[in-house]
Structure 1
Amino acid sequence: MQVSNDVLFHALHTDGLLMLPNCWDAGSARIAAAAGSKALATSSAAVAWSHGYPDGSSLPSELLMANVRGILRVSSLPLTVDMEDGYSDDPAQVAQLAGELIDAGVVGINIEDGSGAPALLADKIRAIRAVAGARGVNLFINARADVYLLGEAGGFGAAVRVAETIKRAALYEAAGASGLFVPGMTTEDDIAAMVKATRLPLNLIALDSLPAPARLAQLGVRRLSAGAALSKAVFGCIDTLARQFFDSGKVDPAAYPQIDYAALNRMMAQ
């Protein structure tokens, strides 16, 4: 019996470490899949930049949906979409957009609290869960707690970050969240405390100061996201080579590994 993608995506969080090299369009999704990704995840920043918009809930919803349809056209892997704060403070509007994503074939979302009230994100999660339930889809709602990202500037000193994140995790779980995303958490003590305190699968973002993947799995982390890192590297390469072209009239990508033209073309034709 074939397992549905929503069931499969939940199962990918139950054992070991799910590693997601976030993509931003159909082409990068093909590359992520070819590299061995078991599921696909978008980065809101990378998607926004690819359309010429800044990150921060400024991408028009029609472009978000076109992006999703493009990715699903080229891959049958489970897809989770970063919908930032839901692009609205109205839980009903956020849930409506989530419904459109589900109807398109998305089985997971990221939604963040940012600098807003945790209670507002909980309301959004409840509304999204209701919409998903009405469609018979067990949507993986990955609640992003931004305590570590806000840090000192947001009033969260190092001594209170774990406790505040645990408090938010309980609130989001009660509202219907499936997972907890805590970008910026890096120390083993904090990670271990978080894993112990919540039943939600813990998702972290790849940072230089983070323990190695094998150690994260030992600590109980269930998901590791590349975030916008791949996109930043690609855009950095484009910026460098474009400036090189204006300086010399040539493009010398010797410092950057390339995929052969024919190989890339075959990948895109699969």
Structure 2
Amino acid sequence: MDKYQLFHQLHHQQIGFVLANAWDLSSAQFIQAAGAKAVATTSWGIAESLGLADGENISFQTQLALVKSLTKYIHIPLSVDIESGYSNDPLQISQNVLALAKLGVAGINIEDSDKDTNALRSIKQQCTIISEIKKVLNENGFGSLFINARTDTYFVSDSPFKVTLKRAKAYQDAGADALFVPGLTNIEHITSLANAIDMPLNVMAMNNFNSAKAAFAGGAKRFSLGNSLYDLVGNTIKTTLTQIAN
């Protein structure tokens, strides 16, 4: 079984899986050594580790350099958080994804938020982006790369369920392999959404939502740790130094 097949299989098991997020090579190696079946990057953690705020404030070349180091030493499937693609041009975004594919990544996250306006892209615009990514991957022999379509509807909408469902179905038709909804913490909504779509539903740990077991019972197939490990490491360092000093 190759890395693409394994990563796809993880999303279609009877029970979901926890996906830990790394921000550099050492954190990815710790995750791999812990026996993880796959690892992902966290754009938040990467940016913070470089003294920057999240939101594509690092260059795509910086992203590529990090991923190159990860794929050299990490042997489990790697999914890369590419935020909104580092562009609003579908052609440029698809070339960015192709560059990552050539380094050996097994999957990507692609957001539907516009970094220039801080609003959601239109469904049509995001579907064009996903379709172009899929087209370019297929043309270059990377058609099995996992496209995780992230929607930020639960961060910006007053009635997010219906909006999310509409986007989910459109993104699937455009070529997405899964739906990622950070901010979705309501178990009833998780169940309803998982039952209404024909692709795996991914959710993310939040301050008030840290039970992967509950998410899986609700129908989610992937529970992303997001920036929680990065925050945990930072808090552990501060706590430890404070205890030593006192």
TM-score higher than 0.5:
yes
Residue-by-residue CA offset, 1:84-124 (whole Å, 9 max, x unaligned): 00010000000000000000001100011122223222111
Match of 1:198 in 2: 197
CA displacement at 1:219 relative to structure 2: 2.2
Match of 2:125 in 1: 120
TM-score (norm 2): 0.90
Listed as ranges, the gaps of 5+ residues in structure 2 are 114-118
User: In the alignment, residue 199 of structure 2 is paired with which amino acid?
Assistant: L
Find out whether 1:10 has 2:8 as its counterpart: yes
In the TM superposition, 1:1-270 aligns within 5 A as 3-15=1-13, 16-114=15-113, 115=119, 116-137=121-142, 138-150=144-156, 156-157=157-158, 160-210=159-209, 212-238=211-237, 252=244
Measured in 2, the distance between the counterparts of 1:228 and 1:218 equals: 23
CA displacement at 1:6 relative to structure 2: 1.0
Structure 1 residues 253 and 95 mapped into 2: Cα distance closer, same or farther (>3 Å)? farther
Structure 1 residues 18 and 253 mapped into 2: Cα distance closer, same or farther (>3 Å)? farther
Measured in 2, the distance between the counterparts of 1:118 and 1:194 equals: 18
CA displacement at 1:214 relative to structure 2: 2.6
CA displacement at 1:169 relative to structure 2: 0.1
User: In the alignment, residue 7 of structure 1 is paired with which amino acid?
Assistant: Q
How many pairs align?
Answer: 238
Residue-by-residue CA offset, 1:210-257 (whole Å, 9 max, x unaligned): 373233223221000010111123234456677x6xxxxxx8289xxx
Q: Between Structure 1 and Structure 2, whose CA radius of gyration is higher?
A: 1
Residues 113 and 144 of structure 1 are in contact (CA less than 8 Å); yes or no, is this contact kept in structure 2? yes
**Aligned-residue CA RMSD in angstroms?**
1.9
Measured in 2, the distance between the counterparts of 1:94 and 1:229 equals: 27
Equivalent position SS for 2:127: helix
Listed as ranges, the gaps of 5+ residues in structure 1 are 151-155, 245-250, 255-270
Give % identity. Answer: 37
Measured in 1, the distance between the counterparts of 2:194 and 2:67 equals: 31
